[in-house]
Amino acid sequence: MNKPLPKTGVMDIAAYVPGRSTAPAGVKLVKLSSNETPLGPAESAKAAFVHTAQKLEDYPDGQATELRQAIGLKHGLNPDNIVCGAGSDELLSLLANCYLSPGDEAIYSQHGFLVYKIAILANGAVPVVAPEVDHTASVDAILECVTSKTRIVFLANPNNPTGTYIPIDEVRRLHAELPKHVVLVLDAAYAEYVRRNDYEAGIELVSSSSNVVMTRTFSKIYGLAALRIGWCYGPANIIDALNRIRGPFNVSAAAIAAGTAAIEDHSHLENAIRHNDAWLAWTSKALNDLGLTVTPSVANFVLVHFPETKGKTAQEADEYLVQRGFVLRAVGAYGLPNALRMTIGNEEANRGVVAALSEFLDQS
């Protein structure tokens, strides 16, 4: 051996590739590839962020106390059972670091978030993919994948990039049938957008269990993706383990201040929910009316399926849209080569994409 080698699993990772964020020179960019909110952050969050510039020489609070207390107050949770991180991605990786060893197995659904596989392989563990039904996670399929080596089940609910969800009764059934030593990770990054009576993010299940943890983010509806703020709620045993391995100052002072202000600004949150409700419905119908298949979504994006006919494929549609400045997310890496994920944008963006796709499909 004449050079350092990374540990087992690392070189099997396909590096995460973010959604495209550029358009051709001279073309106005309309970025709808990363599920960012078109409303941006609350003005109060911006002001809190700017205020931190007066103390850039100071380390942040290593416990993110103010932010955890604000989250606890918002959701009725004990702040001691909350850990904050640099986006929920960091927390998902920390969970894998805590509970996966080489040879262990971790399960996620067929079109689940790409970070799960990365976190699993980075710990030398084996990713196990459970088939989905109609682009929706299947509890039965997940349970069929469980073996004596299973240590974690990652469940994105709602799921990215499909926008689908499973009801809380199904989540409870999954938990009830899992071995007690398996950690069930409920990734609820899009929970604030869901308006279904049979949906819950998982707070009650976490509160009554010792092996369930829920992760959330400020990157989506709160409009603070640039600051990378995530949080998780879990039982004391899991929280204790996470706090032992996380970085001592893993959340910046600016993130703590802006996140605290954002979660306290209820009117901005409600505006974002109303906007998404209206334009998710409009966009889904408009795309269906073009003859495209749209997977029903409860999040702030839609998964659009294209024909396999030459001249009408997702790749060709993507190229056509980019030339006009509309940047959507190709999802071939998720096993969906003939689909595009479109973030719900502002009115101009949503109408613009639909109009451009109408022109694309009308081409001879």
Identify the CA nearest to 105 among candidates 133, 137, 127.
127
Domain boundary among 265, 294, 314: 265
Q: Are 292 and 346 members of one domain?
A: yes
275 to 70, 185, 215, 282, 285: CA distances (angstroms): 25, 29, 24, 11, 16
Is residue 4 assigned to a domain? no
Eight-state DSSP code of residue 305:
E
Answer whether residue 2 is part of any domain. no
Last residue of a domain, one of 265, 280, 307: 265
Q: Same structural domain for residues 83 and 156?
A: yes
Angle subtended at Cα 362 by Cα 356 and Cα 364, rounded to the nearest 5 degrees: 130
Residue 1 has a pLDDT of: 62
Are residue 305 and residue 243 in the same domain, yes or no? no
Residues 65 and 30 in one domain: no
Per-residue pLDDT tens over the stretch 160-200: 999 999 999 999 999 999 999 999 999 999 999 999 999 99
Q: Same domain, yes or no, for 61 and 114?
A: yes
As to burial, measured by CB atoms within 10 angstroms (0-12 exposed, 13-18 middle, 19+ buried), residue 24 is: exposed
pTM confidence score: 0.94
What is the rounded distance in angstroms from the CA atom of residue 248 to the CA atom of residue 260? Answer: 19
Domain contains 193: yes
The number of beta carbons lying within 10 Å of the beta carbon of residue 308 is: 10
| 92: CATH | 3.40.640.10
Examine the domain organization and report whether 255 and 277 are in the same domain.
no
State whether 64 and 199 are in the same domain: yes
- Answer yes or no: is 1 within a domain: no
Is 58 part of a structural domain of the chain? yes
How many domains would you assign to the chain? Answer: 2
pLDDT in tens, the chain (364 residues): 677 777 787 878 777 677 776 777 778 899 999 999 999 999 999 999 999 999 999 999 999 999 999 999 999 999 999 999 999 999 999 999 999 999 999 999 999 999 999 999 999 999 999 999 999 999 999 999 999 999 999 999 999 999 999 999 999 999 999 999 999 999 999 999 999 999 999 999 999 999 999 999 999 999 999 999 999 999 999 999 999 999 999 999 999 999 999 999 999 999 999 999 999 999 999 999 999 999 999 999 999 999 999 999 999 999 999 999 999 999 999 999 999 999 999 999 999 999 999 999 998 5
Same structural domain, 204 and 144? yes
State whether 147 and 193 are in the same domain. Answer: yes
* Same domain assignment for residues 17 and 30: yes
Structural domain contains residue 185: yes
Residues 163 and 293 in one domain: no
Range(s) of the domain holding residue 274: 10-40+267-362
Q: What is the CATH number of the domain that holds 34?
A: 3.90.1150.10
Tokens 């802006």: give the residue.
258
- Structural domain ending residue among the three candidates 220, 238, 265: 265
Q: In this structure, is residue 5 part of a structural domain?
A: no
Whether 186 and 325 share a structural domain: no
In a domain, 47, yes or no: yes
By 3-state DSSP, what share of the chain in percent is helix, strand and coil, each rounded to 5?
45, 15, 40
Residue 244: CB partners within 8 Å, gap ≥ 6? Answer: none
